[in-house]
Structure formats: structure tokens, C-alpha cells
Amino acid sequence: MKKKILIISGGISKERLISLDTGQQVANELKKNGYRVKITEPDNNLEKNIKSFKPNVIFNALHGQFGEDGYIQTILERFKIPYTHSGVIASSIAMDKEISKKIFIKNKIITPKFFTYSYDVKNEDLIKKIKKKIRFPVVAKPLNEGSSVNVYICNEKNIIKILNSIKQYKKVMIEEFIGGREIQVAIMGNKKLGAIELKPKRKFYDYQAKYNSSAKTEHIIPVNLSYNKYREVMNIAFKAHKIIGCRGVTRSDFKFFNNRFYLLEINTQPGMTKLSLVPEIAAYKGISFLKLIQWILKDASTKR
């Protein structure tokens, strides 16, 4: 008899629709292969659904805040039921861009220069600090959002206007803008799964480029890198996966510029949609969507 899988999707983050898509596609694949599947929201009925359905494994299909930042993981720990992807601490660290970047730096992983901004600095002082520490253009981004939500490339003329437009975050990251190539690397437990290059038609690989099919981002696999460079970026992603303490599948986002790899961030819950990168990398490596999901479920069961 096939296992019972409870999928948690939706949620309250700005990535709700992506999460619903991920949850539905995972559910469809499991159902047609004989699994008993129930989809639930992370709402007041979550505990009741877990206790009544009694799943063998919980598939966490949430994205963004509350879903991949340690909060839902803390709740799930109470039930003593295996759940997919990283645990409380690794999820929390990876989602916090400031903390994760400090860990990268400490472990000699190259990442763009940055500082945090909390709206208590005069405009002219902020401009001076950027010119002194980073130089324009810069990237402004929330500290704890995923899928490039509210991420902007800023110049001296528009940065104040952009920062005011995302003032709801109270604290944001100002990061050095790195040009060059977009390389994404997937890690699957202890396996360096593979890499893919993205060529967005937009300025950079933002939310629209990720999830709007009309944005027409070009996906290139295999990546055109020398053997040594390919091995280097795979090793960096694997190192980041391990030092953060991740488990399951992760995807690390890099920029490749002037023959150097810059790690932007590590994603502990990559999407599982028709435009998602990890399933595409897995398929190229001969791992079907079903096999990928089954591995994630098995990994959840064996690592707890």
C-alpha cells in the first residue's frame, strides 16, 4: 500500500500562487502513481488535518515567509512526522539574507558586498555610504523574501523612490550589483545534481522572469563552462548546502562575472512548477519528476 502524503501549500506569503502550483503539481504526480494525497493550507485546520489524515510524510510545498523561514518547520516538529526539505535552523538561516551572507563570507565563499538599511539614515548619507562602500548600481531587496519578490536594481537617481516603495519591510539589504551570467546549481542531499544557466530577456532574473512564461527566459543546459569551472561552482553550492545545515534539495543562485562565481543566496525549498529549475536539472540528469519527488519524501523519512 502506497504511503499517505499530506501536502501543505498556499499560505500567506507573496509567493502563495507559486506555492499552490507547486503543491498541486506534486499532488497530481503522486496521485496518478497510487499515493494517497491530501492538500492543506497552513491555517487553523492544519493540526486537525494532520491528526485525522495521519500522513506518513508531510510535503512542505510552501514558499516565502512562514513557509521556508523556520516557522512552519517549528510547528511541524511538534507532530513527530517526517517533513520534507530543511529543518528549523537551516531554513531560518537560509531565508535571512544578512545572516546567510555573513556565513558565506566567514567560510570564504564569495558573495556581493552589502549592508543593511533601516530607513533611519538621511538620504544624502545613504548615497555617500553606497558610493564609498559599494558604488552604483546596487540591488535593493528585502532580507527575508524569496522568488526575487520586491528586488530592484537601483541607480543614484531612483534609489530613494524605490526604497520608499518597499518601506513596509522596515529593513532591507543594499547589495552590490554583479553583472555577468546567471548560474543556478541544484544539490540533492549529498549529490551535486547539476547546473543550469538562465538568460532572462529582462534586466535580471526577477519574479516575472521566473514565473511569467511570456517573459521568455532562456534555459541553457548543459552550462557552457570549462570542466574546472563547472566543478568549482558545484563545489561552492555543495559547501553552502552543508555549512547552512540544509537537507533535501536546495538551489543556489550564482552570478558568474570576471571568471568568479558570486553566491547570491541558497534556496531551501525550490519550486516544483512547470517553469521550475530543479526538476529541469533533474530531468536532464535522467531523474523524472516522480523520482525526484519520491527521493525528497524518502530523504525526509530517513533523516529525522
Residue 103's pLDDT is what?
A: 98
CATH number for 266: 3.30.470.20
Domain endpoint, select from 148, 176, 204? 176
Number of C-beta neighbours around residue 271 at 10 A: 24
Nearest to 262 by CA among 60, 34, 110, 42: 110
**SS3 of residue 208 by DSSP:** helix
Q: Which of 253, 262, 276, 299 is catalytic?
A: 253
38: in domain: yes
Q: Which of 147, 148, 150, 252 is catalytic?
A: 147
Which range marks the domain in which residue 15 is found?
4-84
Q: Are residues 163 and 215 in the same domain?
A: no
Q: Are residues 104 and 122 in the same domain?
A: no
CATH number for 163: 3.30.1490.20
Q: Are residues 190 and 249 in the same domain?
A: yes
- Cell triple for residue 186? 541544484
39: in domain: yes
- Cell triple for residue 147? 522568488
Phi, psi of 296 (to 5 degrees): -60, -40
Q: Which of 265, 276, 280, 299 is catalytic?
A: 265
Series of mean pLDDT values for 10-residue runs along the chain (304 residues) = 91 90 96 96 96 97 92 95 96 94 98 91 88 92 76 91 88 93 97 95 52 69 97 98 96 97 96 87 96 96 70
Q: Which of 251, 276, 280, 299 is catalytic?
A: 251
273: in domain: yes
Domain endpoint, select from 130, 145, 176? 176
Q: Are residues 236 and 151 in the same domain?
A: no
- Catalytic (active site) residue 15: yes
- Catalytic (active site) residue 231: no
158: in domain: yes
89: in domain: no
Q: Are residues 186 and 167 in the same domain?
A: no
Nearest to 72 by CA among 49, 47, 99, 108: 47
Residue 187's pLDDT is what?
A: 98
239: in domain: yes
Q: Are residues 146 and 187 in the same domain?
A: no
**SS3 of residue 140 by DSSP:** strand
Residue 196's pLDDT is what?
A: 98
- Catalytic (active site) residue 34: no
CATH number for 41: 3.40.50.20
Q: Which of 11, 15, 23, 176 is catalytic?
A: 15
The pairing of beta strand 4-8 with beta strand 57-60: parallel
Q: Are residues 126 and 212 in the same domain?
A: no
- Catalytic (active site) residue 265: yes
Residue 146's pLDDT is what?
A: 63
Sequence-distant (≥ 6) Cβ neighbours of residue 168 within 8 angstroms: none
- Find where cell 516538529 sits: 77
Residue 209's pLDDT is what?
A: 47
Q: Which of 211, 252, 276, 280 is catalytic?
A: 211
Domain endpoint, select from 152, 176, 200? 176
CA distance 266 to 165: 26
Q: Which of 13, 148, 267, 276 is catalytic?
A: 267
Q: Are residues 185 and 247 in the same domain?
A: yes
Q: Which of 60, 271, 280, 299 is catalytic?
A: 271
Q: What are the DSSP E strand ranges found in 114-248? A: 114-117, 138-142, 152-154, 172-176, 181-188, 191-199, 218-220
Q: Are residues 197 and 157 in the same domain?
A: no
Residue 217's pLDDT is what?
A: 84
Say if residues 66 and 11 touch (Cβ distance below 8 Å): yes
Nearest to 8 by CA among 302, 304, 231, 300: 300
The model's pTM is 0.91
- Catalytic (active site) residue 267: yes
Q: Are residues 104 and 253 in the same domain?
A: yes
| Radius of gyration in angstroms for the set of CA atoms belonging to the chain, rounded to a whole number | 19
Q: Are residues 74 and 102 in the same domain?
A: no
Q: Are residues 171 and 215 in the same domain?
A: no
What is the number of domains present in the chain? 3
Phi, psi of 26 (to 5 degrees): -65, -45
